[in-house]
Structure 1
């Protein structure tokens, strides 16, 4: 004979929370309907019973919108952004100027001293007669030249005019340097109707061309220039007395070349 069911016992048993099923060992949260049903039954069976599982909170009732930002706060934010923009701009300009300065410093060519003391000493031994080495000073030579001496005039220019003497490495350089000098000058016929530019010869070797000579006159500036193919020296003497100075220069050259 089966035992009769006890309503009170059944009621007491039904107040216990329902078992929570699991999937793969992980607890599964009961649905909202299940939780509410358990709470209702517990309230009917035992008014003093406190539910062990609270129903899920409905967040939809809350207003999740943010309160609008006040004008004063907007002004503070805008001001801060403006200050940051000014600082970044100033740093960018300073960095750009620094780079430009560095670029300019890197691109500025460094002039090297191209003087050759040995070539200068050699040139000093090749000066025309009547030109003492102590009257001359070495300077950086022109392009393709080995050495250059600038010599001052004597108290009487007729005795020794101001001059510049240049030593080069070979005959081709001598010719090209002489041609540039002629092209940059106002060429005239030399005194005594001597061809300018034209070949010149020494009295000791009249059949041998020693080099080329030319005369130039521009206003009061007179110049006589010539090459010496044996010594590879290009010479030029000058005066500031017009035609009279040119005559004087040519006379000196004829006696000292």
Structure 2
């Protein structure tokens, strides 16, 4: 699901109980679980948050266009499936920079005309926008939900690129972000996870809550308790944070 290649997607798939993973990925996931025993539940909570946020945006905010960046391979309760529960005409474009992921993703989504998968990288916002627009499923003159779920912590300094993507969104649009966090009381565990990803040739950059909030710019962050219970949010605070924000216009 990341913009830096496949290992993170496969760890994620394994923790969700999927089968699209390999022995090395399962071993890496076990090392992450050793550092953060709650991480398997955290992955499931992340997926729950994603579904609740998409459902809210489709049902309450009237969003009919979704762009999921760093999507990886379809797993379960995907963005388009949740959006279709509200309106089966809702359109979704999945974006990943891994060509192999995109080939398999297109094959899996081939029979769904309201869904597309494109190969692009959030570190090149202009090309990403052009390729999404080329699908003719997303009109950037109309409100868009832009998702970056469990992806930004795999990039060293994506702030400018995220700002450019935000600037492309018209009024009424929303931004969904989940991100690995860094807290002093779990710093040793976080460092263990960093080492796991470093050995997998893909760095990870957990951030403080304030630094994660910076990704939203001047967008108005909505109350997270609309999408995940305060108890769950508190439980997984050492592991990650999630937010939904609305365009200020």
Q: TM-score range by the shorter chain?
A: under 0.3
TM-score (norm 1): 0.21
Structure number having the greater strand percentage: 1
Structure with bigger RCO (C-alpha 8 Å, 6+ apart): 2
Instruction: Give the greater-gyration-radius structure (CA).
Output: 1
TM-score (norm 2): 0.22
